């Protein structure tokens, strides 16, 4: 596994829409392993492939230590409630902002085994899913922040 470089705000790649993953290759699995290592090394709870310069629809989220969730071609299929909380981003270092996100979300995605599955999350996990999936469409949390803090 390798630690990858995390792109910072201002890099054009962060504003591009990612492409769907059609086939899970060994290269894709290596990327996922590297993303998990990079996220953990940076003390993050989520990382999207565009943040490491790869425009593919892949996200890793880990809000419970030792239990990373890998989402390939994820889509939010249900959401409920509202939460306003402070967010940060590995690609926007030194800043935080208050965002309004759903309190509960359900995501449909493909796993590393190529099989489709659904996962639901609330509070921090729901926020992490929304935040990381936004990256796949070239969006940053600062675009929707209610308030920003330095």
Q: Among all residues, which ones are annotated catalytic?
A: 132
Number of other residues whose CB lies within 10 A of the CB of residue 59: 30
Upper half-sphere CA count for residue 66 (Cβ side, 13 Å): 0
H helices present in the chain, as ranges:
26-41, 124-136
């Amino acid at each position: 596994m390798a630690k990858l470089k995390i792109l910072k705000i201002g890099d054009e790649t962060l504003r591009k829409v990612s492409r769907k993953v059609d086939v899970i290759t060994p290269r894709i699995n290596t990327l996922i392993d590297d993303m998990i290592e990079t996220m953990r090394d940076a003390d993050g709870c989520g990382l999207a492939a565009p943040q490491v310069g790869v425009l593919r629809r892949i996200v890793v989220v880990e809000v419970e230590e030792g239990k990373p969730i890998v989402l390939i071609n994820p889509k939010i299929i249900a959401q409920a409630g509202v939460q306003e909380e402070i967010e940060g981003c590995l690609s926007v270092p030194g800043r935080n902002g208050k965002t309004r996100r759903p309190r509960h979300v359900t995501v449909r995605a493909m796993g590393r085994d190529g099989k489709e599955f659904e996962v639901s999350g609330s509070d921090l996990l729901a926020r992490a899913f929304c935040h990381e999936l936004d990256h796949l469409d070239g969006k940053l949390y600062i675009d929707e922040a209610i308030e920003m803090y330095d």
